[in-house]
Amino acid sequence: MNEFHARGQRPFVTSISAGVLALGADYLGHAFFSLPLLPEQVSFILLRLLPLSVFSAILRTLTVLARPLLLVGATLMIIAGYGLAGLLANRLAPRAEMAVVAGLVTVVSAAIALLASATTEPGTMIAIEIVLLVLAVVVAYGVAAVLSGDALEDEGRRRVLRNSLYAALGVAAVTIGFVDVRRIITALATQQGDRAQTEITPASSFYLVSKNLVGDPVISPSSWRLALPDRSLTYQELLALPTQELEVTFECISNEVGGTLISNGLWKGPRVQDVLALTTVPGDSRWLLIESADGYTESFPLSELTPHHLLATHLNGDPLPSAHGFPARFVFPGHYGMKQPKWVTRLAFSSGDQPGYWENNGWNEQAVVKTMSRIDVPGDGAELTAGSIRLSGIAFSGTRRISAVELSWDARRSWHAAALVPEFSPYAWRFWNLYAGLSAGQYRVEVRARDGEGTLQSPIPAPTLPDGASGYHTIMIDVR
């Protein structure tokens, strides 16, 4: 008996095959034609549904693997969904299984596209994706029907058709596996920002965080356009505008206490105000709306724009690396990285706020940097010789600057002022040093900073979600 004759298994196996074929085609369409990707859309929805506490725990546990594994999980969930649809169709309408499964795929995938708030693809692209997802059902069920029926009597042709199906399934599975494994490998290979050694972080060591589960956009400068309400700018026209260079520290809102998702760079580009002067801003506009090539969205109050807000085209004297938003990204000092969109392609205006991608997923909309401090030297767990021990690190408070850094190694009974290195920039991190005379023993060293107004950073531990971590960075050292 042919494997397709087993009535109990056939609906499930056929629909699972349809799911593998569908997602293989979906992954290929996303890679070569920038079609939306169903697993990524499902991931967006899952992120919105997950309680913030659960999402935070996942991020802490899986760290850089959280998003690649979410993509894998969504992919497996969808394939299993195809299988369940086949079983359901076989139970409810055994004479119209293919039509029922195709209908379910159409309705569910369309609903997912509508519910995925981060999806900004044109309707035609979504329609093409749905056609691919449904076409896989037609192919899988059609081949299964031929293999399980008596119409094809030539065993050689039957073997060719069966092997062709297996080959197509193999190609689809390899495609899915290649993309998913590549994302996992990339995540494992991605370096967070280095412990601060120099004032300016080299671009190669600058921290990187992205929402994209299947790779970031790579944009050609010749085809890129910045769409404004009544005109567009080419890359060369953007470069021709007057520029300003600012030294600004970027910190991710997901940076844990003592973490390295923070880096400092020299950003250069035209002022946002100069870019907006090239277009007509409606009189009732209160918000600047930003869209990026990867579907990322963000909003920013027009009333808060200053001459120090940039549309950066360069980092540390060179054109922006692709991973950092080439050809242009925003620089809004004082805010976490989520407010500094990369790969910007469109600017619009609104009289009301339209919260951006991460805000719609539960993160704080203002994303104002909290005061933080970190011990970089010595490292946690270091074994040191008794005597004068050098402690050093960074402190950062966005636009509020840093006025003091203090350390304690006696359970906060006393605090010792560190020496501050002269300020690099009003918007940059500040280095500090302290030489402590310590005798033999184990010490728990804590650090805290005060902003430019003298306000002490919060000692109360808080997770990164929804508005950034807080608490004092602590290390243990063994002095002998």
- pLDDT score of 363: 87
Mean pLDDT by 10-residue block, N- to C-terminus, for the chain (480 residues)? 51 90 90 82 80 70 79 93 91 89 92 69 81 92 78 71 90 90 65 76 91 83 96 98 98 90 96 97 96 94 97 98 96 97 97 90 92 95 94 97 98 97 97 97 96 96 87 93
Nearest to 349 by CA among 264, 228, 223, 250: 228
- pLDDT score of 430: 97
Q: Which domains does the chain have, with CATH numbers?
A: 3-189 (no CATH), 203-361 (3.90.420.10), 372-479 (2.60.40.650)
Q: Report the Cα–Cα distance between both ends of the chain, in Å, rounded.
A: 77
- pLDDT score of 145: 81
Distance CA(38)–CA(105), nearest Å, equals 11
385 burial (CB, 10 Å; 0-12 / 13-18 / 19+) is exposed
Nearest to 433 by CA among 416, 452, 409: 416
Which tokens go with 436?
A: 């402590």
Encoded amino acid at 246, one letter: L
DSSP 8-state secondary structure symbol assigned to residue 283: T
Nearest to 166 by CA among 27, 9, 8, 13: 13
- pLDDT score of 189: 47
Please check whether residue 417 is in contact with residue 369, taking contact to mean a CB–CB distance below 8 angstroms. Answer: no
Which tokens go with 245?
A: 């260079």
C-alpha distance from residue 57 to each of 10, 61, 188, 249, 468 (Å)? 40, 6, 19, 27, 14
Nearest to 465 by CA among 45, 52, 48: 52
Q: Crossing angle, helix 155-189 and helix 10-33, to 10 degrees?
A: 50
Identify the bridge partners of residue 233 per DSSP, sorted by sequence position: 226
Which tokens go with 204?
A: 């190669």
Rounded to 5°, the CA angle 123-125-127 comes to 70
Encoded amino acid at 413, one letter: R
Report pLDDT digits (tens) over 180-199: 887 776 566 455 666 777 99
3-state secondary structure of 243: coil
- pLDDT score of 249: 98
Please check whether residue 188 is in contact with residue 199, taking contact to mean a CB–CB distance below 8 angstroms. Answer: no
Which tokens go with 52?
A: 């913030």
Distance CA(167)–CA(173), nearest Å, equals 10
Distance CA(469)–CA(461), nearest Å, equals 7
Preceding amide of 378 cis, omega within 30: yes
pTM value surpassing 0.75: no
DSSP secondary structure string for all residues of 411-465: TTS--EEPEEPPPS-TBS-EEEEEEEEE-SEEEEEEEEEEETT-PBPP-S-B-ST
Please check whether residue 286 is in contact with residue 302, taking contact to mean a CB–CB distance below 8 angstroms. Answer: yes
Strands 383-384 and 473-479: parallel
Encoded amino acid at 427, one letter: Y
Place of tokens 């749905």: 130
Encoded amino acid at 33, one letter: F
Encoded amino acid at 368, one letter: V
Helix (H) / strand (E) containing 336: none
- pLDDT score of 155: 72
| Residue 260 burial (CB count, 10 A) | 18
Preceding amide of 461 cis, omega within 30: no
Phi and psi at residue 403, to the nearest 5°: -110, -20
Encoded amino acid at 97, one letter: E
